[in-house]
Amino acid sequence: MKPRLFLSPPHMSGREQLYIAQAFESNYIAPLGPMVERFEQSIRDLTLSPNALALSSATAALHLALRVLGVGTGDVVLASSFTFIGSIAPILYQNAIPIFIDSDSSSWNLDPFLIEEAIRKAPKKPKALILTHLYGQCADLDKIIALCNHHEIALIEDAAESLGATYKDKQSGTFGTFGVYSFNGNKILTTSGGGMLVSPDKELIDKARFYSTQARDDAPYYEHTEYGYNYRMSNILASIGVAQMEVLTERIAVRRQIFEWYREILHDISEITFMPELSETRGNRWLTTLIFEHSDPNAIRLALETENIESRPLWKPMHLQPLFKDTLSIQNGTAQKLFEKGLCLPSGTQMSQDDVMRVCTYLKMSLK
């Protein structure tokens, strides 16, 4: 059996253990410490966002964003339906009400033309919109920002998958009141688990920092007028993040190259459509994703599995989840079609062109 091709395995730069050793030497085996500061600085340098807060996960970062914005019981939060549950669960943590918005076929991301219908149908004026940039490809930001501004809805960008992607040369995650990145094990960079919250507004990040460290008041003893969370990132994991950030540019170049190889090798198969890239945007192509017009992606997935190749259906839209069977959603059928017709292909940055050829060979053999 040939070695397994995973969807998106971790890819270390080689300097992680050096930085971990430095963290050990300094004895900052703690949440917080110099490596956390360096990691946050590397995110500020990349994104040009003036404020960054390293956290235990992107889910925690989204939760803090909602909390700081004052989203609470009964408040309405609009959100991309075509996303991962980590994007949405924080709305429930706050006892708020999600309303899901379907995708458009030009970006596969949130369809801006459905936002006003969602606002009209909402039981009250939405306080925030959580917008996912799916699979590392940017959503139609200009239109979405204009509508958020017009309706005074705070934009939270879920850029968990899109670190390093740009929209009109500006980093994804830096357009909203908050942006969130993930360093979970399968993302384009990983700290084994971790997240980052960014914002142009220092006061908001200071407040999030306060909540992330148990909401301790400024007193010599532990005094609390509010409750918080234990959401900060460990200094050891931040060491991994520092080393990973050094290779982000290379990693994006390779992910994009892998996508190009897939596209070239499969170009003669007319039933295949790849996830698009909006003009004036540059995604990180975290995963190469595609849909099939006729063939059954599940059959293809199982055929690839017998060749020790991992592939995965696209995210199941939130409006089709049992958890949200009674939740309002604005649909146009796009996300459901993408889910039923789509597949994510192995896209790890250690893949060679031969590996991509191997995937394509078996993929072609399993087409209808």
Ligand X SMILES: *Cc1c(COP(=O)(O)O)cnc(C)c1O
Residues near ligand X (CB under 6 A) are 57-59, 83-84, 86-87, 132, 158, 160-161, 182, 184, 195
**How many Cβ atoms sit within 10 Å of the Cβ of residue 264?**
12
Pick between residue 65 and residue 204 the one whose CB is nearest to ligand X.
65
Q: Which residue lies nearest ligand X, judged by its C-beta?
A: 86
Other CB atoms within a 10 A radius of the CB of residue 281 amount to 21
Least Å from the CB of residue 195 to ligand X: 5
Of 266 and 338, the one with the shorter C-beta distance to ligand X is 338
Query: Cβ contacts of residue 186 below 8 Å, gap of 6+?
Result: 7, 8, 9, 10
Residue 270 CB, nearest approach to ligand X (Å): 30
Kindly state the smallest distance separating residue 194's Cβ from ligand X, in Å: 7
- Minimum distance of ligand X from residue 218's CB (angstroms): 30
Which of 160, 363 has the CB closer to ligand X?
160
Q: How far is the CB of 364 from ligand X (least distance, A)?
A: 29
Phi/psi at 35 (nearest 5 deg)? -70, -35
Residue 153 near residue 128 (C-beta atoms within 8 A):
yes
Residue 181: CB atoms within 10 A of its CB come to 31
Compare residues 20 and 159 and give the one whose CB is closer to ligand X.
159
Least gap, CB of 68 to ligand X (angstroms): 17
Q: Work out the angle at residue 126's Cα, subtended by the Cα atoms of residues 123 and 130, and round it to the nearest 5 degrees.
A: 130
Rg (CA), the chain: 21
3-state secondary structure of 354: helix
Are the CB atoms for 78 and 110 separated by under 8 Å?
no
Kindly tell me which of 58 and 147 has the beta carbon lying closer to ligand X: 58
Q: Which is nearer to ligand X, 179 or 195 (CB)?
A: 195
Q: Nearest distance from residue 161's CB to ligand X, in Å?
A: 4
Closest CB to ligand X among 342 and 363?
342
Whether residue 285 contacts residue 256, with contact meaning beta carbons closer than 8 Å, is answered with yes
Strand order across the beta sheet in which 342-345 lies: 272-274, 288-292, 342-345
